[in-house]
Amino acid sequence: MNPVKQGLSTSTRVFKGISASPGIAIGKAFVLEDVDLAVGRWQVPPEAVKAEVARFRLAVADTRREMLATQQKILKLLGKSHARLIEAYLLILDDPLISKDVVRNIMQNRVNAEFALSEAVAGAVKALESASDEYFRERRHDVLDVGRKILLHLLGHRPQTVEDLKEPSVVVAHNLTPSDTIHMRTNYAEGFATDIGGKTSHTAILANSLEIPAVVGLHEITRNVRPGDLIIVDGYTGTVIVNPLPDVVENYRREREVRLAERRDLERLRDQPAQTQDAHRLVLAANIDSPDEMKSVLSHGADGVGLYRTEYLYLNRSSLPTEEDHYAHYAKVAQSMLPHSVIIRTLDIGGDKLMDFGIGGITKSEPNPFLGLRGVRLCLKYPDIFRTQIRAILRASAMGKVKIMFPMISGVEEFCAARQVLRDVMSDLRREGVPFDEKLEVGLMIEVPSAALVVDFLAQEADFMSIGTNDLIQYTLAVDRINEEVAHLYEPLHASILRLIAQTIKAGHDAGKWVGMCGEMAGDPEATPILIGLGLDEFSVSPALIPKVKKTIRDLRFSECQALAQEIMKNPTRETISKTLRQIKNRAF
């Protein structure tokens, strides 16, 4: 359904951005002023330097109090996992960049606090902008937000905020902080649109959790919207329409009702099995990052956790997580998911994300972390980190049905090396009398082309395999999907990708092993019939996508999906795939 079918008036403007949170918001624009905080430089008299430092430290303290208050609100509404988002801001406040460098600049050069702060922030932002990792590039906005908050306190300026909303509105802003976003839950905000931001920004994460329709990365939306303009935010397509015609507004209102009705219909499938009309049963599991998501997993009717990403435990903190930190999280998820299983993926981050911990001499970012020390490579290089996590996973296996999965495996030797570490830790726990599941299933991810090419050998060694399509597609097609210049070449249904998936499933089945998929492709309804036809055993998707994927599965016939897959694999061009998918979609079951 595409409501933007009608002609547009000359005053109507349409903007495309990044969908940060699904949903449709319609209302008058509430434009948050982006105050131009011009900062000049002036010399501070020697006798006033200490007072200038004290003024800066007071501004930092006031900023900290604001952040802690926001953290408490997030904790109350969304739980500990999301409250930790504020820890990233608090860490910036404690960073030497803020706590020492600004003070040193004031004292040594006798410059005003505003100028010293702006210089420090500009240097940090420049360094983050050159990072190859999307997560770190997004963090430059966090540094800017923190710097801006301190600067506002230094200048004694109180800008307009979401708390000033007096009626239902759509918020338009250059950027929004977590404190802005969390206030939308209790204020009149119907949705929001911002100039900057991406899918991994803290604001996007909170918007998703709060179910607030949002589009980010619109570049200059604040320059093209006036307070009171009628605005539509389409969080499904990443579209924002300013001053739409009445028929466009009515179409969107109808679509919003249709979407809400669809959601209610999908909710009725919660307790229904994920099986085709001819009774072919599949496992439909959830991808999670933390125990706080278990409520969503259970409410959407997942058959288990197919991918528990453990990287979140390592982010936004100043020290490595302990064995007890790991165990507390894993045991909680394992117990909550009974009688279903939980697949815990071992650490999959690069060395650049461990720099702050002072691990093994890591002191600088890698020039290309996607091809560097990440995933199981990092774990094998730093076995103490690896063993700590494995001990916790094994201990948690006594509390539920836990499986372990190694990421970024490139060949048989690498998998066997990781499994040997697991065996060694098992021996240690036996000697200590610590209980664990002796029959724990051990799997691996197929996300590196070299692994897919030797998958028949890997299938003999592993208990199961899960296809990580995000990296598999990126590495196979040599496409950085967040690079706007080549993102259009990122094609999940490319012939090479389908072949790698097909041979992985076949190799697994030939060895008597089950094969799942936990990449974004598993949640794409267009790909569902092909994957079923190729014989995929398990789909693991974000909790919110479970009802939609389940409905797609229940509308299909396994026999027809098999025929579809056979036809496509004979001639896997995009034209053939699209034509065949249309046929199966239009067929009445």
Q: What is the pLDDT of residue 365?
A: 56
8 Å CB contact between 550 and 281: no
Of the candidates 152, 100, 149, 97, the residue with the CA atom closest to the CA atom of residue 125: 97
Question: Which residue among 82, 153, 183, 202 is the active-site one?
Answer: 202
Q: What is the mean pLDDT of the chain?
A: 85
The C-alpha atoms of residue 211 and residue 177 are separated, in whole angstroms, by 16
Summarize the confidence of residues 147-155 as an average pLDDT. Answer: 86
Is residue 449 very low, low, confident or very high in pLDDT (cuts 50, 70, 90)?
very high
Summarize the confidence of residues 288-313 as an average pLDDT. Answer: 89
Q: What is the pLDDT of residue 148?
A: 83
Of 116 and 91, more confident: 116
> ∠ CA 569-573-575 to the nearest 5 degrees?
120
8 Å CB contact between 292 and 313: no
- Amino acid making up residue 496: S
Of the candidates 380, 398, 300, 384, the residue with the CA atom closest to the CA atom of residue 342: 398
Percentage of the chain beyond pLDDT 90 is: 48
Question: Which residue among 174, 326, 494, 518 is the active-site one?
Answer: 518
Of 233 and 266, more confident: 233
Tokens of 513: 């092993």
DSSP string, 166-188: -SSEEEEES---HHHHHHTTTSS
Q: What is the pLDDT of residue 112?
A: 93
Is residue 66 very low, low, confident or very high in pLDDT (cuts 50, 70, 90)?
confident
Walk me through the domains of the chain, giving residue ranges and CATH numbers. Answer: 13-35+160-245 (3.50.30.10), 46-155 (1.10.274.10), 257-281+458-589 (3.20.20.60), 283-440 (3.20.20.60)
Backbone angles phi, psi at 436, to 5 degrees: -160, 170
Tell whether the model's pLDDT for residue 549 goes beyond 90. Answer: yes
Q: Count CB-CB contacts under 10 A for residue 236.
A: 15
Of 176 and 138, more confident: 176
Q: How many CA atoms lie within 13 A of 73 on its CB side?
A: 18
Tell whether the model's pLDDT for residue 439 goes beyond 90. Answer: yes
Name the percent of the chain in helix, strand, coil, to the closest 5.
55, 15, 35
Is residue 4 very low, low, confident or very high in pLDDT (cuts 50, 70, 90)?
very low
Tell whether the model's pLDDT for residue 327 goes beyond 90. Answer: yes
Is residue 515 very low, low, confident or very high in pLDDT (cuts 50, 70, 90)?
very high
In this structure, what DSSP letter does residue 45 have? P
> ∠ CA 330-333-339 to the nearest 5 degrees?
125
pLDDT digits (tens, 9 = 90+) for 466-479: 999 988 998 899 87
Specify the length of the chain in residues. 589
Tell whether the model's pLDDT for residue 247 goes beyond 90. Answer: yes
Summarize the confidence of residues 146-161 as an average pLDDT. Answer: 81
Q: What is the pLDDT of residue 83?
A: 65
Tell whether the model's pLDDT for residue 166 goes beyond 70. Answer: yes
8 Å CB contact between 257 and 63: no
Of 579 and 534, more confident: 534
Q: Where are the beta strands (DSSP E) in 118-167?
A: none
β-sheet with 239-242: strand ranges across: 13-16, 239-242, 230-234, 24-31, 169-173, 189-194, 214-216, 18-21
Quote the distance between the C-alpha of residue 381 and its chain's center: 26
Tell whether the model's pLDDT for residue 279 goes beyond 90. Answer: yes
Tell whether the model's pLDDT for residue 35 goes beyond 70. Answer: no
Residue 202 annotated among the catalytic residues of the structure: yes
Of the candidates 204, 189, 263, the residue with the CA atom closest to the CA atom of residue 85: 204
Summarize the confidence of residues 27-50 as an average pLDDT. Answer: 83
